[in-house]
Amino acid sequence: MNLDKLRKICMSFPGATEGLKWEDHICFMVAEKIFCITSESGGANVKVTPEQFEELTERDGILPAPYMAHNKWLYIERFSALKPKEWEFYLRQSYDIIASKLPKKTREKLH
């Protein structure tokens, strides 16, 4: 995995946009709600289920995300910490979790 592949996956989701926040953080969003945060230096933050949060934080290179761990966000330190199929799964799941909390009218416009 690298930034270009991560970008391609994230931007394939309905209504996904990309923006720069906090000077150097590349954020992928749906309806202005962030579902993935990354940077040129590698690694990423994604939202997961409570069960996955507990399981994945036991793996090398995966930590609770600073300031967002209480909301079950992970910080994946390097792109090599997950296999490509795992990246696809967790990026899509993070998108789905965030999109599911959008107002119904906004969700309907995504598809």
Residues 21-62 pLDDT 10s: 888 899 999 999 999 999 887 889 999 999 999 999 999 999
Q: What is the percentage of the chain residues whose pLDDT exceeds 70?
A: 99
Topology (CATH level 3) of domain 3-103: Aspartate Aminotransferase, domain 1 (3.90.1150)
pLDDT-based confidence at residue 94 (cuts at 50, 70, 90): very high
- The pTM of the full predicted model, rounded to 2 decimals, is 0.91
Mean pLDDT of 72-83: 93
Domains of the chain, by residue range, sit at 3-103
Question: pLDDT at position 67, please?
Answer: 84
- Which ranges in the chain belong to alpha helices (H)? 3-11, 50-56, 84-100, 104-110
